[in-house]
């Protein structure tokens, strides 16, 4: 039966010494390593991308601890499962220690009621919670649970880590050690690369390659680059348009445009497109950046961005990627000014929070007979009657005279400043 389990399951580490990667939290001088070894673990929440080793770490803890260890999956479990674990934990005959470790996979899928059911028992120490999630727990997990747990971020495994795990799987008798496999280190490294930091993808690919490749005349399974290419899914975009990475990626895209880094702009745009982001959402962000960050330094940027948004709407994918790229690069390469953006926000703040006075009488409208006699529009100077179509007169209310909202000095050379 064990051999029917996926390779990724069969070769999971059983001890901390067998665990590969995550040195930033599992190095021998790190607190998590020390608490696991000493079996003094407090509640923790592990979060990171798929295949980074969250469940494997929980399994290591289950093999290390002397406490009773329970595992449930939030996609199928409910409050009744939590109550069962708590009842067994508090039953002295079943659990003399009076304390258990409860591992909840995909904890972000628990609703508020289910998470609240855990709270009192995590707080009084009856339950040591280990939660695993691919989502940022600060967004998805009850704040009360967060405050009672140590939040640990796991990173995608490095290519070196995945290469090491693949080599171990080839030797491990529970893995592929019983097969005569011939595969070069270069091919294994390529497999590690295309797995995108997900060791499960890499191990599944290696297993598929092994089981679907015929032995040669010497009884050896030869696994080449071509075999690997046909056995593993293409490299996944590290992007989830509904999760934290969505916000991180779009933030990086916008900040790269603001920071005038065209290469970074195209990189984050590509990640968004490969991750299935709505092209109109991307187009709107480019329009906003053109207005907010380029502004009067190059007003043409807003025209270009708006035209691009209309073109994306009409054309659609995949050609829309070209339009998005051109508009994003144009905005990135334009000189920047946020003077208008800062000016309107300052003006809004004054209007909402101050007594700003009244519109001067000479620039008010006088649509009805008799209003001029009351001072409406009296004394207004029509700018086109003067040289260069300009004339000095008061426009701001008396209480706002001297207020500066638009700081033209912060606008790079005003117009005409696109970097060719």
413: region left, alpha or beta (phi > 0 left; psi from -120 to 50 alpha)? left
Q: Distance between CA atoms of 331 and 335, rounded to whole angstroms?
A: 8
Residue 50's pLDDT band (cuts 50, 70, 90): confident
DSSP character for 44? E
pLDDT of residue 331: 96
Q: What is the pLDDT of residues 157-183, one digit of tens each?
A: 889 999 999 999 999 888 888 888 899
DSSP letters for 399-413:
GGTT-----GGGSTT
Q: Which CATH code is given to the segment(s) 22-153?
A: 3.40.50.300
What are the pLDDT digits (tens) for 95-151? 887 888 889 988 888 888 888 888 888 888 888 899 998 888 888 888 888 888 888
Asked if residue 6 lies in contact with residue 204, where contact means CB atoms within 8 angstroms, the answer is yes
Domain boundaries defined on the chain = 22-153, 159-231, 244-333
Label residue 418 by pLDDT band (50, 70, 90). very low
Contacts of 140 (CB under 8 A, 6+ apart): 108, 133
User: Which position has the higher pLDDT, 336 or 28?
Assistant: 336
pLDDT tens-digit series, residues 219-265: 889 998 888 888 876 555 555 555 667 788 889 999 999 999 999 99
Per the DSSP assignment, residues forming a β-bridge with 127 are 100
CA distances from 24 to 29, 81, 152 (A): 10, 34, 10
Instruction: Assess if CATH 1.20.272.10 describes domain 244-333.
Output: yes
* Helix, strand or coil, per DSSP, at residue 104: strand
Instruction: Report the CATH architecture of 159-231.
Output: Orthogonal Bundle (1.10)
Whether residue 198 contacts residue 50, with contact meaning beta carbons closer than 8 Å, is answered with yes
Question: Are the folds of 22-153 and 159-231 the same?
Answer: no
Q: How much is the pTM? A: 0.63
Q: Are 150 and 64 in contact (CB under 8 A)?
A: no
Taking every pair of Cα atoms in the chain, the longest distance, rounded to a whole number of angstroms, is 110
pLDDT reported for residue 415:
44
Query: Any alpha helices (H) in 290-402, and if so which ranges?
Result: 300-315, 320-333, 339-353
Q: Whole-angstrom Cα distance, residue 259 to residue 262?
A: 9
């Amino acid at each position: 039966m064990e051999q029917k389990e996926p390779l990724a399951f069969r070769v999971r580490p059983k001890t901390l010494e067998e665990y590969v990667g995550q040195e930033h939290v599992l190095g021998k001088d790190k607190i998590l390593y020390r608490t696991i070894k000493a079996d003094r673990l407090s509640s923790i929440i592990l979060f990171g991308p798929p295949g980074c080793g969250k469940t494997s770490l929980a399994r290591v803890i289950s093999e290390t601890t002397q406490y009773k260890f329970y595992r449930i999956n939030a996609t199928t479990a409910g409050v009744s499962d939590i109550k069962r674990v708590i009842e067994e934990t508090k039953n002295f005959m079943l659990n003399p220690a009076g304390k258990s470790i409860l591992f909840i996979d995909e904890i972000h899928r628990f609703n508020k009621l289910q998470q609240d059911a855990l709270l009192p028992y995590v707080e009084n120490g009856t339950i040591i919670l280990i939660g695993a999630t691919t989502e940022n727990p600060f967004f998805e997990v009850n704040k009360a649970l967060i405050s009672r747990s140590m939040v640990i971020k796991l990173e995608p495994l490095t290519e070196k880590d995945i290469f090491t795990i693949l080599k171990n799987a080839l030797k491990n008798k529970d893995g592929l050690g019983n097969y005569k496999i011939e595969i070069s280190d270069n091919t294994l490294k390529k497999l590690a690369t295309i797995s995108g930091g997900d060791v499960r993808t890499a191990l599944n690919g290696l297993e598929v390659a092994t089981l679907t490749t015929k032995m040669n005349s010497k009884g050896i399974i030869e696994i080449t680059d071509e075999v690997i290419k046909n056995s593993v899914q293409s490299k996944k975009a590290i992007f989830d348009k509904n999760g934290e990475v969505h916000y991180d990626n779009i933030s990086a895209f916008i900040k790269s445009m603001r920071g005038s880094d065209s290469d970074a702009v195209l990189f984050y745009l590509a990640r968004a497109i490969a991750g299935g982001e709505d092209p109109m959402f991307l187009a709107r962000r480019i329009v906003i950046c053109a207005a907010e960050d380029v502004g009067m330094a190059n007003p043409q940027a807003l025209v270009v961005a708006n035209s691009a948004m209309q073109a994306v709407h009409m054309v659609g994918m995949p050609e829309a990627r070209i339009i998005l790229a051109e508009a994003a690069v144009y905005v990135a390469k334009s000189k920047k000014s946020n003077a208008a953006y800062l000016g309107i926000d300052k003006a809004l703040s004054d209007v909402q929070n101050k007594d700003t006075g009244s519109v001067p009488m000479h620039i008010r409208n006088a649509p009805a007979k008799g209003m001029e006699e009351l001072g409406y529009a009296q004394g207004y100077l029509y700018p086109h009657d003067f040289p260069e179509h300009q004339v000095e007169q008061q426009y701001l209310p008396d209480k706002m005279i001297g207020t500066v909202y638009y700081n033209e000095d912060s606008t790079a050379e005003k117009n005409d400043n696109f970097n060719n």
